[in-house]
Chains A and B, each alone.
Chain A
């Protein structure tokens, strides 16, 4: 069974940092691209970042570019999101999501259960 399990989020002060991790199992992690997607409370879905299987290509949404960094460790079947300079508007549930097979299509399947990050003083 494919599983994606995010680390616990938590409460962070504005301007602070947090590193999320995602443990993948049940599939050849090193063969798939991965993404982070978030959802603010009561709001819709926002794609944040993409990383290819080999980490050779990375993309970010403008809303997090320069503040967030995606990375992965294929030996440990893990995906990471380093979040710096956090703002109130970064408060959301963060989902670790597997990309589609191959490099051409970029839909998301499956999704982790999500972890809540709250940015507040």
Chain B
């Protein structure tokens, strides 16, 4: 099983600042087999990024993904109030599909 590790567990950021979230895989998941999701309290997760770098439909340009192999990053530029949430990465290189433990982005 590919283990996904996200860091930090909690990130305190002021509105308007940049947030950088990390996701590490226990083995290579290739170039395209990584997705990011956003989950707000009481809501279902929402797809933000797939293929490591491609924004899903309707996702603002301030969200960007990068990385390949075992190291991936989600960057949120100029954080808006609606961006404070929990973010999960997910690999789909191999079965079972696995998620990271999540990073909570909170208001500083």
Chain B 4-46 interface 0/1 with A at a Cβ cutoff of 8 Å (1 = within): 0000000000000000000000000000110101000000111
Chain A contributes a number of interface residues (CB within 8 A of B) equal to 21
A110 interface neighbour in B47, B90, B95, Cβ under 8 Å: B47
A107 interface residue (CB < 8 Å to B): yes
- In chain A, positions 27-59 with a C-beta closer than 8 Å to chain B are 35, 44-47, 50, 59
Closest to B95 in A: A59
Whether A105 contacts B33 by the Cβ 8 Å rule is yes
Q: How many A-B residue pairs have CB under 8 A?
A: 56
Whether A113 contacts B32 by the Cβ 8 Å rule is no
Chain B contributes a number of interface residues (CB within 8 A of A) equal to 22
Whether A107 contacts B92 by the Cβ 8 Å rule is yes
Whether B33 contacts A46 by the Cβ 8 Å rule is no
A107 CA to B97 CA in the complex, in Å? 9
Closest 9 CB pairs of A and B: A106-B92, A107-B35, A109-B47, A111-B44, A47-B97, A45-B99, A107-B50, A44-B101, A61-B96
Which residues in B have some Cβ–Cβ distance to A below 8 Å? 32-33, 35, 37, 44-47, 50-51, 56, 88, 90, 92, 95-102
